[in-house]
């Protein structure tokens, strides 16, 4: 079974990658600057944006993560390809 990919698919994946990059960078920064309130607020804002973006993606295309980190609709969607890391 194959998920039909469209422009929205790639746009959302790119948005997720951008959010993940920002979260990784802020994590590294906060590891050395734990009292930077502005950076912590930015981290929390990006984390919320990422959750919303991932939810929108998963509702349309299926799970991003396995092992209970993402829900699946019926029928089981994990077998649908391509997986996000394959594109």
- Cα 10 from Cα 51, distance rounded (Å): 17
Tokens for 3?
A: 């998920």
- Tell me the pLDDT band of 87, cut-offs 50, 70 and 90: confident
Provide the pLDDT for residue 82: 75
The ranges assigned to domains in the chain are 7-80
- Cα 75 from Cα 19, distance rounded (Å): 29
> 27-71 pLDDT, tens per residue?
999 999 999 999 999 999 999 999 999 999 999 988 887 776 666
pLDDT at 2 over 50: no
81: helix, strand or coil: strand
For every residue of 8-49, DSSP letters joined together read HHHHHHHHHHHHHHHHHHHHHHHHH-TT-HHHHHHHHHHHHH
- Cα 49 from Cα 16, distance rounded (Å): 9
What spatial distance separates the first Cα and last Cα of the chain, rounded to whole Å? 16
pLDDT at 4 over 70: no
Provide the pLDDT for residue 64: 86
pTM, rounded to two decimals: 0.76
């Amino acid at each position: 079974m194959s998920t039909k990919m469209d422009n929205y698919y790639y746009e959302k994946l790119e948005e997720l990658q951008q959010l993940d990059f920002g979260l990784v960078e802020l994590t590294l920064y906060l590891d050395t600057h734990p009292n930077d309130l502005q950076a912590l607020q930015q981290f929390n804002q990006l984390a919320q944006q990422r959750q919303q973006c991932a939810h929108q993606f998963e509702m349309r295309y299926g799970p991003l993560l396995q092992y209970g980190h993402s829900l699946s609709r019926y029928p089981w969607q994990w077998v649908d390809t391509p997986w996000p890391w394959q594109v």
